[in-house]
Structure 1
Amino acid sequence: MAVYVDNMNAKADVPNGAKVVRGVWCHMTADTSEELLVMADKIGMRRSWVQYPGTWKEHFDVTLSKRKLAVSAGALEVSMRDGVIASRQRWEAAHPEASRGLIARLTIHDEAQILDPSTPT
């Protein structure tokens, strides 16, 4: 079991209550929800910041400084593409009934856009 951080490196201004956090952002995922939440605790993130809880897209958006802390705490570095593929595979393995509907809805074009956002729509 493991926690992963990708290399998305997206520049963004993210609202956080009354302030805006400016930074370069990546994703943090894990093999299980519990592992993801434990790592979030270790690196000082609020559990309430989790994105898409309980789905194959469950993750935290992390700044480069939080990414570095996660790696120091044992997270594995992956490419954004490999992170998406691994997340889907973990979800499908854990939820075979639910994943059938996901696969049916996720067309080849949709997957191409997830793996390469520059793919034309």
Structure 2
Amino acid sequence: MSCYVDLIFKIGSAGFSNPSAKKHGNQWCHLTADTIEELHQMAEGIGLKKTYFQNKSVPHYDLIPSKRRLALKHGAIEIADPKKFYEIGRKLRKILDDSQKKQEGA
């Protein structure tokens, strides 16, 4: 089981535009993982608050370059292929959705 970071991109590239995020810089990447526990553990280990978690189609945390370096130092794996990164994140999304369905059916 692992955590993953994608490549850094600039705000405004690839259709990404978030004016409120600019206060933290204009370069970002994402952190996801094989399990939600690993994702939150890595985020905590690099100093992110759990409230920063984004439970979207790809569950993730946004990282600025300094946090990305910390994640890599703590064992995260760089994924350069955006499709592969998205695929990993979608697997986590499915795990979370299946878990929720089980809880609702119990």
Is the TM value for this pair above 0.5? Answer: yes
Taking CA–CA contacts closer than 8 Å with sequence separation of 6 or more, which of the two structures ends up with the larger relative contact order? 2
Identity of aligned residues (%): 34
The residue correspondences of 1:59-78 to structure 2 (distance < 5 A) are 59-78=60-79
Larger radius of gyration: 1
1:25 and 1:14, CA in 2 relative to 1: closer, same or farther beyond 3 A? farther
- Contact preservation (8 Å) 2:28, 2:62: yes
Distance 2:2 2:30 in 1: 14
Runs of 4+, deviation exceeding 6 Å: none
Distance 1:34 1:9 in 2: 26
Superposition deviation, residue 91 in structure 1? 3.7
2:58 maps to amino acid = K
Could you tell me which runs of 5 or more consecutive residues in structure 2 were left unpaired when the two chains were aligned.
12-16, 102-106
Of residues 5-14 and 83-92 in structure 1, the stretch that sits farther from structure 2 once superposed is: 5-14
TM-score (norm: length of structure 2): 0.73
CA-atom RMSD, angstroms?
Answer: 2.6
| 1:6 alignment partner in structure 2 | 6
Per-residue CA distance 1:2-24 (angstroms, 9 max, x = gap): 000001413366537xx921130
Instruction: Give the secondary structure class of the aligned counterpart of 2:26.
Output: strand
| 1:20 alignment partner in structure 2 | 23
More helix by share: 2
| 1:85 alignment partner in structure 2 | 87
